[in-house]
């Protein structure tokens, strides 16, 4: 397969797999986000079927262009549930266990925690693994989980102890849910409708609930956010698509094809990678 991602504009137009309302002429134009603090893109990650973990710098993370760096293998044995959190933090639940492990990648090496490259930070988290369940990491010590009953909980670690807060019910009605690092949730229904939620953790309230923002989100194998509304999806044929929803859809919601060859790979992105531009 080819790992040098390409932007094929005509193909991207043909891949308009969702529909959104086009912004009006008076709609505010929002500048691209800052990813990893500047214009040089951000690392996204993939787990191959043999458990190999790789990093891949996407220089076009802020704009949806198909410019990439070199693919770098950074680990092996990642059989299970993997989530990229932020600032090099990864959470991992090995297959057949509820053990929650935390790793930290400094961009070159894995940090050591005593005799291992990880620390065990919890048990029983397999409740968030499997069909109809969600584990979405949003920071070094924060993630959200949806169990098979549809209960949505916010988990925060303070002084080595996890604190869980029940913040929603009925979330089992969605086929998948992903969380951003600023309280935003993207939920996808069985009919392909995409909904936006916004949770204010400090005030413990929902500011936006079930706002429909698009349709046609059914034929994807992976969906992840890099923050600030940047969304990546992979199709069954291995096409990698880029979207951005920040108040309105960038490019009127037309997906940008930014890569190929992603079939059979679990795509990962850190929700803390991209932040809104200060302008």
Q: How much is the average pLDDT of 191-202? A: 95
Q: Which residues contact 30 (CB under 8 A, 6 or more apart)?
A: 246, 247, 248, 276, 277
Tell me the whole-structure pTM to 2 decimals.
0.88
pLDDT in tens, 235-275: 999 999 999 999 999 999 999 999 999 999 999 999 999 99
Pick the CATH number of 9-19+29-275 from 1.20.140.10, 2.115.10.10, 3.90.180.10, 2.40.50.140: 2.115.10.10
pLDDT in tens, 3-24: 443 333 333 333 444 444 433 3
Burial of residue 27 (number of CB atoms within 10 Å: 0-12, 13-18, 19+): exposed
The predicted structure's pLDDT at residue 16? 40
Find where tokens 């053990």 sit.
Answer: 99
Six token digits for residue 224 = 């992840």
* Residue 37 confidence class, pLDDT cut points 50, 70, 90: low
Q: Which residues contact 274 (CB under 8 A, 6 or more apart)?
A: 33, 34, 35, 36, 42, 61, 62, 226, 227, 228, 230
CA atoms within 13 A on the CB side of 266: 14
Alpha-carbon 91 to chain mean position: 13
- C-alpha–C-alpha distance, residues 275 and 180, integer Å: 11
Q: Which residues contact 137 (CB under 8 A, 6 or more apart)?
A: 83, 84, 85, 86, 89, 91, 143, 271
CA atoms within 13 A on the CB side of 88: 10
The predicted structure's pLDDT at residue 8? 36
- C-alpha–C-alpha distance, residues 52 and 265, integer Å: 10
Six token digits for residue 131 = 């069909």
| Structural domain spans, the chain | 9-19+29-275
Query: Is residue 171 within 8 Å of 189, Cβ to Cβ?
Result: no
- C-alpha–C-alpha distance, residues 110 and 97, integer Å: 22
- C-alpha–C-alpha distance, residues 231 and 30, integer Å: 16
pLDDT in tens, 101-144: 999 999 999 999 999 999 999 999 999 998 889 999 987 788 89
């Amino acid at each position: 397969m080819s790992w040098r991602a390409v932007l094929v504009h005509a193909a991207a137009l043909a891949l308009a797999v969702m529909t959104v309302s086009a912004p009006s002429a008076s709609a505010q134009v929002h500048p691209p986000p800052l990813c990893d603090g500047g214009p040089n893109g951000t690392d996204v990650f993939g787990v191959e079927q043999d458990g190999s973990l790789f990093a891949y710098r996407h220089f076009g993370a802020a704009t949806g262009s198909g410019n990439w760096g070199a693919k770098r293998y950074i680990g092996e044995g990642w059989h299970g549930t993997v989530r990229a959190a932020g600032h090099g933090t990864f959470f991992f639940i090995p297959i057949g266990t509820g053990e929650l492990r935390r790793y930290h990648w400094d961009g070159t090496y894995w940090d050591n925690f005593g005799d291992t490259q990880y620390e065990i930070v919890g048990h029983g988290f397999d409740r968030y693994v499997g069909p109809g369940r969600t584990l979405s990491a949003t920071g070094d010590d924060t993630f959200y989980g949806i169990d098979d009953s549809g209960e949505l909980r916010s988990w925060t670690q303070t002084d080595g102890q996890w604190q869980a807060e029940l913040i929603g019910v009925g979330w089992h009605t969605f086929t998948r849910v992903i969380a951003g690092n600023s309280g935003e949730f993207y939920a996808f229904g069985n009919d392909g409708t995409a909904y936006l939620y916004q949770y204010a953790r400090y005030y413990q309230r929902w500011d936006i609930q079930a706002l429909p923002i698009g349709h046609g989100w059914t034929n994807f194998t992976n969906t992840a956010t890099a923050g600030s509304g940047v969304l990546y999806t992979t199709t069954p044929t291995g096409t990698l698509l880029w979207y951005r929803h920040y108040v309105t859809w960038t490019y009127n919601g037309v997906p940008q094809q930014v890569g190929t060859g992603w079939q059979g790979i679990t795509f990962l992105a850190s929700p803390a990678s991209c932040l809104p531009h200060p302008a």
